[in-house]
Amino acid sequence: MSPLPQHVLLIEDDAADHQLVGRCLRKGSRSTQLHWEQSLAGGLSHLDANKFDVVLTDLSLPDSHGLTTVERIRACDHDVPIIVLTTLDDPDVAIRALQLGAQDYLPKEMIDPSLLERSIMYAIERRSMQRAVEVSTTALYEAMEQLKQTQIVVEEANRLKSEFLANMSHEIRTPITAILGFAGILQDQIDETDSIEIVEIIQRNGEHLLSLINGILDLSKIEAGQCHSECLRFSPLDIILDVGRMMKVRSAAKGLSLSLDFVTEMPETIESDPTQLRQILINLVENAIKFTSAGCVRIESSLVRNAKNAFLQLDVIDAGIGMTPEQTAQIFKPFKQADSSTSRQYGGTGLGLTICKKLAEGLGGDVTVSSELGVGSTFRATIAIGAIDHVSIVEPQPADKMPSENRVAATISPEVASLDCRLLLAEDGLDNQRLISYILQKAGADVTVVDNGQLACDQILQQIQNGTPFDVVLMDMQMPVLDGYAAARQLRQAGLDVPVIALTANAMMGDREKCLDAGCDDYLSKPINRAALLNLVSCYSGEESIVCSGQAD
């Protein structure tokens, strides 16, 4: 089947040149239909009414002269290939014609059948390729714009998720603060055995509910992409020892011993995220304590290097119930435990290990497990720690391997606490106002209460002017009028150095850092632990016998 004839529009006022073009096309191998117009106006009219494969045009026409001819043809039809036929062999004009949209530029004295046929063929092909590029470019721009819009939608969705999670954390943890806090107070005040048991049940189940909520919120934040790792230089020994101090109390309450061993020398500092490293280790040790009924839980820390990288390796070893290979294959999946009987006997959602693994992967490492049923399990967390070529390597002293019982127990007891200080409590929840004020006033503190951040700033400035400044400020982070973050920043910008302890129901990963960045000196998450509250107040008000931890859980 022979190809369809090419439709060629010739805009040329010279009849001799028309005949030249006609002869050349007739001698070509391709069937051609030539349409001749002697003026640009006639050519444009013909071009507007018909579809042509190519336009051949002179630059010197009765109604148009020079490169304006090319511009007007291109304005009439942005798609048709244009070949300029001219008596001028001017390279500058040729280049400009091509820049304006012509596909070729032929001096008339050089035209022959072969050249003209080849020029038309190449012009059509080049224009076809240009159209393809234009279509692809347009599609690419549209795709980029769609991607940009999608990204905006995703970012907004993630922002709303993050806001929702923060609000859920606040709305759920705030009433639990009152429930657990007043249950603890009742436990101290009642004597009847039955009543004590009832209060203990309330407190135990409230704490269990809190643990479930924490796990769900943390995992939700990770899945929503709202858990971003920081890269800070810090001491791994400080993190490991802090966790050891905290978890030794919990293990002792269950009748277990907790040991801490440094298998190798340790870098003095590493580069990673200290908050997430702390959470990984806490979750692993809590898991070990939960599933161990007798004996010891051991934390082994070591520095591991390969040809390219260095890693901090933390092994948490327990003498608990252990697992089968089939069970270990499921253990890092969300809401999975070894089996249903494990969940019934030990409780929990199975989220802690999932969170550990995701956090470790985000820090360039992993969490793995080896276990033997009835013998125990070893959970190994590895964390990339950055370059340590110029970091001092230290050998932890024997005294560092685990804090003494006295050091662990060096916390203030709610029953014997005695505070002689003036406090400002900024808290908008009436129940929590009453609870926290009761705890502090019973310990001897003078407490002033306000219900928003602006009133807190006003009170602090007023008391300074009166010469009776507050010793410590307890600041809720979510309040009307002016929230705790803005209030803390306002105080620091004013040059005031009064200690500010954040009280917040936002207790997900990264929230502590957000409070400290705003200017708070320390952080307490709701539900408020009475001993931790009294410890921090004692510390920052200058009371003796207590050492500030820099963190309270």
Q: Residue by residue, what is the 3-state secondary structure of 345-405?
A: HHCCCCCHHHHHHHHHHHCCCEEEEEEECCCEEEEEEEEECCCCCCCCEECCCHHHCCCCH
> Which one is predicted more confidently, 529 or 552?
529
Rounded Cα distance, 261 and 259, in Å: 7
Is pLDDT at 550 greater than 60 in this prediction? no
pLDDT score at 411: 46
Q: pLDDT value at position 403?
A: 45
Report the C-alpha gap between 406 and 3 in whole angstroms.
98
pLDDT at position 469: 94
Three-state DSSP state, 116: helix
CA neighbor of 356 nearest in space, from 493, 479, 219:
219
Q: What is the pLDDT of residues 96-120, one digit of tens each?
A: 988 898 889 998 888 898 888 888 8
Give dist(CA 2, CA 134) in Å, integer. Answer: 30
Across the chain, mean pLDDT equals 84
Backbone angles phi, psi at 499, to 5 degrees: -60, 130
Q: Is it the case that residue 70 has pLDDT exceeding 80?
A: yes
The pLDDT of residue 426 is 96
CA distance 60 to 14: 10
Q: pLDDT tens digit string along 411-430?
A: 445 555 678 899 999 999 89
Segment 50-61, tens digit of pLDDT: 889 899 999 989
Of the candidate ranges 194-198, 422-426, 439-443, the one whose mean pLDDT is the lowest: 194-198
- What whole-number distance in Å separates Cα of residue 167 and Cα of residue 30? 75
- If phi over 0 gives left and psi between -120 and 50 gives alpha, with beta otherwise, what is residue 377? beta
**Residue-wise pLDDT tens digits, 279-305:** 899 989 998 998 898 999 999 999 998
pLDDT tens for each residue of 213-223: 777 777 777 76
What percent of the chain is modeled with pLDDT above 70?
A: 88
The yes-or-no verdict on residue 459 having pLDDT over 90 is yes
Q: What is the pLDDT of residue 394?
A: 80
pLDDT value of residue 349: 55
Summarize the confidence of residues 230-253 as an average pLDDT: 87
Q: Mind listing the pLDDT tens digit for each residue in 14-34?
A: 999 999 999 998 888 778 889
What integer pLDDT is reported at residue 509 of this predicted model?
A: 61
What's the confidence (pLDDT) of residue 159?
74
* Edge-first strand listing for the sheet containing 376-384: 257-262, 296-305, 310-317, 376-384, 366-372
d(CA 368, CA 453): 45
Residue 312 clears pLDDT 90, i.e. is over it: yes
- Which of the four pLDDT bands, split at 50, 70 and 90, describes residue 367? very high
**pLDDT the model gives residue 231:** 84
Task: Name, in order, each residue with C-beta under 8 angstroms of 168's C-beta and a sequence gap of 6 or more.
Answer: 217
CATH fold of 232-408, please?
A: Heat Shock Protein 90 (3.30.565)
Which structure tokens are listed for 204?
């135990």
Banded pLDDT at 348 (limits 50, 70, 90): low
CATH of domain 137-221: 1.10.287.130
DSSP H or E segment with residue 453: helix 453-465
Q: Are 276 and 237 contacting, i.e. CB atoms less than 8 angstroms apart? A: no
Nearest alpha carbon to residue 81 among 64, 59, 61, 105: 105
Provide the pLDDT for residue 29: 75
**CATH H-level superfamily of 6-111:** Response regulator (3.40.50.2300)
Residue 195 to residue 294: CA distance in whole angstroms: 30
pTM equals 0.52
The pLDDT value given to residue 336: 54
Whether residue 153 is predicted with pLDDT greater than 60 in this model: the reply is yes
**pLDDT (mean) for 316-321:** 93
Strand locations in 12-153 (E): 32-37, 54-58, 60-61, 64-65, 82-86, 104-107
Q: How confident is the model at residue 505 (pLDDT cuts 50, 70, 90)?
A: confident
pLDDT at 543: 59
Name the residue among 99, 39, 46 with its Cα closest to residue 69.
Answer: 39
* pLDDT recorded at residue 553: 43
pLDDT of residue 399: 41
CATH architecture of 422-540: 3-Layer(aba) Sandwich (3.40)
Residue 446 has pLDDT above 70, yes or no: yes
Choice among 231-235, 461-465, 511-515 with the minimum mean pLDDT: 511-515
Starting from the edge strand earliest in sequence, which strands make up the sheet with 6-11, in order?
A: 32-37, 6-11, 54-58, 82-86, 104-107
Taking residues 369-374, what's their average pLDDT? 92
State how beta strands 522-525 and 500-504 pair: parallel
Q: In Å, how far are 155, 283, 374, 444 from 334, measured between CA atoms?
A: 25, 14, 24, 46
Least confident span in 138-147, 198-207, 402-411, 492-501? 402-411
* pLDDT band at residue 462 using 50, 70 and 90 as cut-offs: very high
Is-same-fold flag (6-111; 137-221)?
no
Q: CB neighbours of 58 closer than 8 A, spacing ≥ 6?
A: 11, 12, 13, 14, 17, 69, 84, 85, 86
What are the residue boundaries of the structural domains of the chain, listed by start?
6-111, 137-221, 232-408, 422-540
Contact 263, 302 (CB under 8 A): yes
The pLDDT, as a whole number, for residue 476 is: 93
